């Protein structure tokens, strides 16, 4: 387990990308949010390059360092996306059939992996459009936006002497979008009335747009009488924006300890808790899962899908080999007070995709010396549940999000399931 007082450098040394311009080899720092290596083949591109030619180059692994108008680069990216999403008729295959002539159905896990492969291929091609940045993060292109503040929020302040850099246009658009969300915030009904109910996610920190799981934390019965809440201690494991810690604080829990390992998340949580007026109740700590001590309520909302993340942002969605989920369950009993409960927030999306069964989850709970005290459930309401064209729609419409109330096994507790 990493030392809880230290954290990985949020701005490690950057590699360099090289290209040839005016007969000379040029070099700049390479910035990639997903940690990709600099593309080995780079050519200069501008407004004279057609979308078809750009698509051929990108598919072949050649990156395009843009020297034309910024808005034309955005249009080119949209054109590439349309070509990726449009499957040529010559490449369409008839549905596979069995020897008896019936269609072969693809199992959910295979559908999920094919979907991720298609997403990865799409990201790879769109990531071939590159932009130059000056040392102060300004963009030396016509009609380029002033993204210096947004880039500073994502990359940290410019380092004197560090020089120019190159990043993908796709990364920049994500940075600008995150900057807008950070300015206007996300309204959280469980935090009470406006205007004191907004959370402001930082770049790279999972945004709590799916509010159903937050409502579960607001509704779950606390294991102490209302008069005793000021003496109560709660842990929020993997706090992210700090939203669940804030909900617990608004429920009059006397002391909350919020933990995370990500530098961006820790900064984000501290800022949100301060502007919500609950910083005095909540202590933010660097920790891999649990802080020292015991608590009356320990809440954890781990990534819901047991798959390998392909970028730092995806660590909020994908939990390879269920590391965080199993780590939380394994350590929970040792950190609960005698009356304490662990609140595990997880959807059954992975079950519908064939990635993890309900039996596997219950077995992990049992092996950790825990018992199920109860469960609160809700149905997601996000737009993808209504998008029948989505490749994973079959699983999204069936999804249920649950808050599992877990206690340590004693001679007096009996599992409900």
Token couple for 36: 């990709």
Strand partners, 333: none
What is the predicted pLDDT for the residue at 20? 97
pTM over 0.85: yes
For the chain, give every domain's residue range.
16-181, 187-408
CB atoms inside a 10 Å sphere around CB 224: 18
What is the predicted pLDDT for the residue at 4? 36
pLDDT in tens, 215-272: 999 999 999 888 888 999 999 999 999 999 999 999 999 999 999 999 999 999 999 9
pLDDT in tens, 37-63: 999 999 999 999 999 999 999 999 999
What is the predicted pLDDT for the residue at 309? 86
> Has residue 366 got a pLDDT over 70?
yes
Token couple for 246: 């804030």
Token couple for 336: 């609960």
187-408 maps to CATH 3.40.50.150: yes
């Amino acid at each position: 387990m990493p030392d809880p007082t230290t954290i990985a450098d949020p701005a490690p040394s950057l590699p360099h990308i090289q290209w040839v311009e005016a007969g000379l080899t040029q070099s700049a720092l390479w910035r990639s949010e997903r940690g990709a290596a600099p593309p080995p083949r780079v050519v200069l591109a501008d407004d004279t390059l057609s979308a078809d030619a750009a698509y051929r180059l990108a598919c072949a692994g050649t990156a395009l360092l843009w020297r034309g108008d910024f808005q034309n680069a955005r249009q080119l990216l949209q054109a590439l996306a349309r070509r990726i999403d449009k499957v040529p008729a010559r490449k369409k295959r008839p549905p596979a059939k069995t020897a008896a002539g019936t269609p072969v159905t693809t199992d959910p896990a295979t559908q999920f992996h094919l979907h991720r492969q298609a997403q990865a291929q799409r990201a790879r091609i769109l990531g071939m459009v590159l932009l130059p940045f000056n040392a102060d993060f300004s963009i030396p292109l016509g009609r380029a936006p002033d993204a210096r503040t947004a880039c500073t929020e994502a990359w940290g302040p410019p380092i004197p002497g560090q020089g120019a850099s190159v990043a993908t246009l796709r990364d920049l658009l994500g940075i600008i979008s995150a900057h807008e969300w950070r300015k206007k915030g996300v309204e959280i009904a469980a935090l009470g009335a406006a205007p004191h109910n907004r959370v402001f996610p930082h770049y790279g920190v999972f945004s709590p747009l799916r509010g159903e799981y937050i409502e579960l934390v607001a509704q779950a019965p606390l294991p102490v009488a209302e008069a005793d809440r000021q003496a109560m201690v709660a842990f929020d494991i993997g706090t992210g924006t700090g939203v669940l810690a804030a909900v617990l604080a608004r429920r009059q829990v006397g002391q909350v300890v919020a933990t995370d390992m990500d530098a961006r998340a820790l900064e984000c949580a501290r800022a949100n808790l301060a502007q919500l007026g609950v910083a005095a109740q909540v202590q933010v700590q660097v920790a891999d899962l649990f802080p020292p001590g015991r608590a009356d309520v320990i809440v954890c909302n781990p990534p819901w899908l047991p798959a390998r993340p392909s970028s730092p942002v995806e660590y909020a969605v994908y939990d390879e080999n269920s590391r965080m989920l199993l780590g939380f369950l394994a350590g929970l009993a040792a950190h609960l007070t005698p009356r304490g409960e662990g609140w595990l927030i997880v959807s059954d999306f992975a079950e519908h995709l064939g990635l993890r069964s309900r039996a596997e989850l219950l077995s992990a709970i049992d092996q950790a010396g825990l018992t199920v005290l109860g469960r609160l459930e809700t149905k997601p309401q996000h737009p993808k549940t209504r998008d029948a064209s989505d490749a994973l729609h079959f699983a999204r419409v069936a999804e249920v999000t649950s808050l599992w109330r877990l206690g340590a096994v004693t001679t007096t507790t009996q599992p409900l399931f």
